[in-house]
Amino acid sequence: MKVPYNWLLEYVDIEKDIREVADALTMSGSKVEEVIEYGKEIDKVVTGYVEKIEKHPNADKLRVCQVNVGEEVIQIVTGAENVQEGDTVPVALHGSTLPGGVKIKKGKLRGVDSNGMLCSEAELGIADDDSVHGIMILPKGTPIGVDIKEILGLKGGILDFEITSNRADCFGIYGIAREASATFRLPLKEIKTSFKENDENIKDYVDVEVKDDLCRRYAARVIKNVKIGPSPEWMQQRLMDAGVRPINNIVDITNYVMLELGQPMHAFDHRFINGKRIIVRRAEDGEKFTTLDGVERTLDSSMLVIADEKGAVAVAGVMGGLNSEIKDDTTIVVFECANFNGPNVRLTAKKLGLRTESSSRFEKDLDPNLVDLALDRACHLVEALEIGEVVGGKIDIYKNPVKPYTLEVDPNWINEFIGINISKEEMADMLKYLGMKVEVGEKLKIEVPTFRQDIRIKEDVAEEIARLYGYDKIPTEKIKGEAVEAALTKEQRLTNIIRNVLVSRGFFEINTYSFVSPKIFDKIRLPEDSPLRNTVKILNPLGEDFSIMRTTLIPSILETLRINYARDNKEVKIFEVAKTYHPAENMPYEPVKLSIGMIGKVDFFDLKGVIENILYVLGIDKVDYERDEENPGLHPGRCAKLIVRRKPIGYFGEVHPEVAENYEIEDRIYVAEIGLMPLFEAYKAERKYKPLPKYPAVDRDIAVLVKDEVAVAEIEDIIWKIGKEIVEEVKLFDVYKGKQVPEGMKSVAYSIIYRREDRTLTDEEVNKVHESIIKSLSEKLGAQLR
Amino acid sequence: MREQLEKIKLEALEEIKEATNSQRIDEIRVKYLGKKGSLTTILRGMGSLSPEERPIIGKLANEVREFIEEEINNALSNIKNKERELKIKGEYIDITMPGKKVEIGGIHPLNKVLDEIKDIFFGMGFSIAEGPEVELDYYNFEALNVPKNHPARDEQDTFYISENLVLRTQTSPIQVRTMEKTKPPIRIIAPGRVYRSDAVDATHSPIFYQIEGLVVDKGITMANLKGTLETFAKRFFGEKTRTKFRPHHFPFTEPSAEMDVSCFVCGGEGCRVCKGSGWIEILGCGMVHPDVLTKGGIDPEEYSGFAFGMGLDRIVMIKYGIDDIRLLYENDIRFLKQF
Ligand SMILES: [Zn+2]
């Protein structure tokens, strides 16, 4: 909220620099987001009186002015057409500075001396654009030779506050002034509300009926003999500084009061209130209504309207209607000052897509007792500006008046809770500045004014004390009390181990969006009936491409590979540890999975090796790899199911060429997806020491020719089975195809290590076992010894 | 015989001095001390000596033998040293040539910084709590004093799954979840993904990370909140870091505050990162609202607590000077390799 500094100063006598004030208010709880110092760059610009204007001897479009700038009369050449003799204008003297760093120096224009410049509003940085053409003409009677910053009230500038939703009272300048008064412990001045009423009765002008409780209070006054016209300069300036466009004097008064007190008001032209009756009621479903901005809107029965006998004249708390707008010839005005249910105004504004200065205040649930003050203030301004006559009496429908709230708080508790030590008298003093009445006894008995509906419990009071005392003055203390055990859970620890293994193997961790497009399932050739197609859907997604929660990490890792590949990053090894989301009875099920992806100079066994590394580090040994031909996303001949303790917990392999094409990658892609929970369950923390071997080992190599289809695992199974008594290790060291190996065959070579724990093996023993291994390989797999 | 021994001694010495390699020394050893060596030959002729002379010459002969042996050993070790030095000289390599590396990957910058933050809080006795990302409206809003139609709901554009299920807009729902499960003392942080329906640009991402913190115990004060977060700030941003607590409003804490830290880029002088203010807003915090404690099954008359929440992405971006949040979720390998 924008607060012109001089407006604030009207209610508190602060004698401090605007920046100092901004800092202090920020620290006491009213955060200043920005300090706008309009006049900051203006220097040596004064008011001048144009005494005489003559034609320029050498140029038709230029004129030569004699300007009295107080101590002297100087000659200035101008091109502006709107300046007349007798005008008072801003004059930039020789050596002056204007916004944007413009420097003005004396010189000659078409041969005539010019000792400065007459300024427009744009040149002074007041108007954003050149909407106001020509030189700025100041009001008659403006003193001459005075710094323009003083005249324009530019000294000080504007404070832009961020008001939090709990402080409805601070949506008015007077509320901010109260905060300033409490911050600096300076008195808050009273707001002027006096005015005279004529001896007529408002009842003869208008009648009000409130039909719905969404309107908690409805008050009205009538002003007659209204002279519509522009409001005075100072008022217009303040409205503009606060970000509100001046309209005419009556509308400007309602806005001025809203800015000052935070209470929105509305002015109706009395002529257009049919039947001279105002009815506050729910709109009818489908009721059409044209708001002040000229847009026809369709209302519904959740919305509250202000209506006359014929139809709506305003959407309550949001915007008035075009049908009862104040016009240049308006003579009788009805001021509405009401209180509406906040959440309802908020919903209405949201439904209509029409958030206004008014609705954004009402939605905070304003204090109904603000109504009197605001309505009186408006009448006071009407009288002060001499633009109308207040008709006697007011209408005020207020069924359930809100009363101040009282609570008792133990000052010792406050000190303990915050960790400070201040006297209860000082606490009481702070609270009084905030408009509270405080009785100091053993406890503080506090009467909270109705405009502070955010203060209900002792913690609320503690916050008021803490912030006015100063958060920065609260000491810093370590937490006392018993030490709490801090440790990673097993899952957290193992996740870190897995990440570290992957990093040590050259993989980079990635982080991708959890929501994806429903199209990805076809892209990875997921079967139509796959349970993974059953997803958690977002009702209001950012777009279809982000509309479902992912059930697999594979599309995300493929998409990341695609992005990298397209950018010429052709050697990429990445992984992600993230959740997938699966619909379940109450809450979705969110398992954590590991995905791995790579492209470049790698193959299936690079990927398998990494997975084996992970399993090794986790001490998981009972692992099987099964060919996985039912996974259409992967190459049927190059993918495997990872089976741990007889349960499939993931899969890995080369991506199906069609899927690779879908992701625009012309290289082979390898991916894996493994559930982390099953890995953690299989994790074996225990390791037991086995005595180091005492007796020597015997190392024998074996090379056999087998058919291509024979898996090395089959060969190894036989070696282990036959030699289980004395085989210690089986190492595959060569698989060869080509010269000297017949078509459809491969040569497989192993080094087998034999050892007994209890004695040295004899050659005969080893030979016997070795021979029967060879025999068994030949019988069962048709292997030929090479 | 005496003269013969003296002569052998001198000759041997001469030859040892002239020897330049270990092979030659071995030859000398054989020549003088070997089975057929000159010294041995002389000793064999001792039989012809008188009994009086025998011990004297014997002693002398032994002295000569010991002398030659010592000289040979000395010479040998000299020569070995020289030979070793020569070998070493021939084995110089270009140590500026690249080392043999196994390529190492890297942790994503978000998690890297998160790990650092976790470690700091571990050191202060905090554990790590986790919660669902698809969250009940109750935990995300209502239990945190944000009922339906509360204006605060407009500030956090929420993704809805159903009327009662949302993508959590903050990590704060973990507060009540933790209180329901754990008896005080509670000291946890809870990092995780959160979701807001913001359109994507350089500073907005619909998915980002928050770190929630919660402490509940008897006698927890606002001074404890300041102490804990100040310690965190100093450990994370550096010992010289200053902190500033400003009043703020959150529905689920009372009193509430925002914490700024002195800009770690310029040290508080004012720069582009801190927009000239010298301060950077880091987190929101406050004393846990009694309603929230009650919802978590904790008696606010007996216990008090504080909570805080910070945006990880922003901290990572400032720390590394990353100017576009999208880089964190795009995962260009050239980006990832920089951390
Ligand atoms: Zn800085």
Residues 380-419 of A with CB under 8 A from B: 416-419
* pLDDT surpassing 80 at residue A778: yes
* Residues B313, B193 share a domain: yes
B99 is a domain residue: no
* Interface contact flag, A479 B134, Cβ < 8 Å: no
Of the candidates B197, B244, B247, the beta carbon closest to that of A542 is on B197
Question: What one-character DSSP code corresponds to residue B259?
Answer: E
* d(CA A138, nearest CA chain B) in Å: 37
Quote the mean pLDDT of chain B: 91
* Bridge partners, residue A523, by sequence: none
Q: Compute CA distances B178 → A47, B164, B187, B256, B297, whole Å.
A: 67, 20, 10, 20, 10
* Residues B171, B283 share a domain: yes
Locate B324 and state its tokens.
């576009």
Residues of B in contact with A28 (CB under 8 A): 247
Interface confidence, given as ipTM, is 0.86
Distance, in Å, from the CA atom of A687 to the CA atom of A679, rounded to the nearest integer, reads: 17
User: pTM (2 decimals)?
Assistant: 0.83
Q: Dump pLDDT digits (tens) for B173-224.
A: 999 999 999 999 999 999 999 999 988 899 899 999 999 999 999 999 999 9
B316 is a domain residue: yes
Question: What one-character DSSP code corresponds to residue A135?
Answer: B
B103 is a domain residue: no
What is the rounded average pLDDT of the residues B277-283? Answer: 92
Interface probe with A: pick from B249, B256, B258, most Cβ of A within 10 Å: B249
Longest dimension (CA), chain A: 132
* pLDDT surpassing 70 at residue A524: yes
Distance, in Å, from the CA atom of B303 to the CA atom of B281, rounded to the nearest integer, reads: 29
**What pLDDT does residue A673 have?**
97
* d(CA B204, nearest CA chain A) in Å: 13
* pLDDT surpassing 70 at residue B77: yes
Q: How many residues does chain B have?
A: 339
**What pLDDT does residue A153 have?**
64
What b/e readout covers A110-134, taking b as 16+ CB neighbours within 10 angstroms? eebebbbbbbbbbbbbbeeeeeeeb
Residues of A in contact with B186 (CB under 8 A): 484
Query: For residue A178, which phi and psi values (nearest 5 degrees)?
Result: -65, -40
* d(CA A565, nearest CA chain B) in Å: 9
- In this prediction, residue A154 has a pLDDT band, given cuts at 50, 70 and 90, of low
Task: Say which amino acid occupies A640.
Answer: A
* pLDDT surpassing 70 at residue B156: no
Distance, in Å, from the CA atom of A558 to the CA atom of A665, rounded to the nearest integer, reads: 9
* Residues B164, B39 share a domain: no
Q: Please, are residues A77 and A133 in contact by the beta-carbon 8 Å criterion?
A: no
* Residues B281, B154 share a domain: yes
* Cβ-based neighbour number of residue B260 at 10 Å: 20
Residues of B in contact with A587 (CB under 8 A): 132, 134, 136, 165
Answer whether A489 touches B (CB < 8 Å). yes
Residue B310 lies in domain: 109-336
Cα-to-centroid distance, B241 and ligand 1 (Å): 12
Q: List the single residue in B with minimal CA-CA distance to A364.
A: B151
B100 is a domain residue: no
* Residues B115, B85 share a domain: no
* Residues B217, B182 share a domain: yes
B245 is a domain residue: yes
Residues of B in contact with A26 (CB under 8 A): 246
Burial bucket for residue A257 (CB in 10 Å: 0-12, 13-18, 19+): buried
Q: Dump pLDDT digits (tens) for A352-400.
A: 999 999 999 999 889 999 999 999 999 999 999 999 999 999 999 999 9
* Residues B120, B81 share a domain: no
* pLDDT surpassing 80 at residue B152: no
* Interface contact flag, B331 A26, Cβ < 8 Å: no
Q: Where are the beta strands (DSSP E) in B183-278?
A: 186-195, 207-217, 243-250, 253-262
Q: How many residues does chain A have?
A: 786
Question: What is the phi-psi region of residue A625: left when phi exceeds 0, alpha when psi lies from -120 to 50, beta otherwise?
Answer: beta
Of the candidates A459, A512, A560, the beta carbon closest to that of B254 is on A459
Task: Say which amino acid occupies A376.
Answer: D
- Mind giving me the DSSP string for A671-697? EEEEEHHHHHHH--------PPP-S--
* CATH number, domain containing residue B298: 3.30.930.10
Answer whether B242 touches A (CB < 8 Å). no
Residue of A199, A159, A151, A195 lying closest to A177 (CA atoms): A159
Q: List the single residue in B with minimal CA-CA distance to A505.
A: B104
Q: Dump pLDDT digits (tens) for A601-644.
A: 999 999 999 999 999 999 998 899 998 877 899 999 999 999 99
Q: Dump pLDDT digits (tens) for A45-77.
A: 999 999 999 999 988 889 999 999 988 999 999
* Residues B127, B67 share a domain: no
B185 is a domain residue: yes
Question: What one-character DSSP code corresponds to residue A143?
Answer: P
Sheet holding A405-409, edge to edge: A405-409, A444-448, A437-440
Q: Mark which of B37, B56, B90 sits at the end of a domain.
A: B90
* Residues B218, B138 share a domain: yes
Q: Dump pLDDT digits (tens) for A447-467.
A: 999 999 999 999 999 999 999
* pLDDT surpassing 70 at residue A740: yes
* Residues B208, B157 share a domain: yes
Answer whether A108 touches B (CB < 8 Å). no
Locate B127 and state its tokens.
């554990």
Q: Select, from the ranges B2-6, B46-50, B164-168, the one with the highest average predicted confidence (pLDDT).
A: B164-168
Query: For residue A61, which phi and psi values (nearest 5 degrees)?
Result: -85, -5
Locate B145 and state its tokens.
């004093």
* d(CA A347, nearest CA chain B) in Å: 8
Answer whether A421 touches B (CB < 8 Å). no
Q: Mark which of B90, B122, B154 sits at the end of a domain.
A: B90
Burial bucket for residue B207 (CB in 10 Å: 0-12, 13-18, 19+): buried
- Mind giving me the DSSP string for A599-640? ESS--HHHHHHHHHHHHHHTT---EEEEE-TT-TTEEEEEEE
Q: Please, are residues A281 and A394 in contact by the beta-carbon 8 Å criterion?
A: no
B284 is a domain residue: yes
Q: Mark which of B45, B63, B90 sits at the end of a domain.
A: B90
Residues 26-65 of B with CB under 8 A from A: none
Answer whether A608 touches B (CB < 8 Å). no
Residue of B230, B229, B196, B192 lying closest to B211 (CA atoms): B192
Helix extents (H) in chain B: 2-18, 22-33, 38-44, 53-89, 109-123, 137-140, 152-155, 173-181, 222-237, 290-295, 312-320, 327-330, 333-336
Q: Compute CA distances A679 → A497, A574, A674, whole Å.
A: 12, 20, 8
**What pLDDT does residue B52 have?**
84
How are beta strands A669-675 and A592-599 bridged, if at all? antiparallel
State in Å, rounded, how far the first CA of chain A is from the last one.
90
* Cβ-based neighbour number of residue A516 at 10 Å: 22
* DSSP helix/strand/coil, A583: coil
Interface probe with B: pick from A179, A366, A484, most Cβ of B within 10 Å: A484
Q: List Cβ neighbours of B84 (8 Å cut-off, separation of 6 or more).
A: none
Residues of B in contact with A502 (CB under 8 A): 105
B195 is a domain residue: yes
Count up the domains in chain B and report the number.
2
Cα-to-centroid distance, A19 and ligand 1 (Å): 19
* Interface contact flag, A471 B257, Cβ < 8 Å: yes
Helix extents (H) in A68-218: 121-124, 148-151, 173-184
Residues of A in contact with B322 (CB under 8 A): none
Sheet holding B127-128, edge to edge: B127-128, B186-195, B207-217, B304-311, B279-288, B253-262, B243-250
* Residues B321, B263 share a domain: yes
* Residues B118, B80 share a domain: no
* Interface contact flag, B200 A542, Cβ < 8 Å: yes
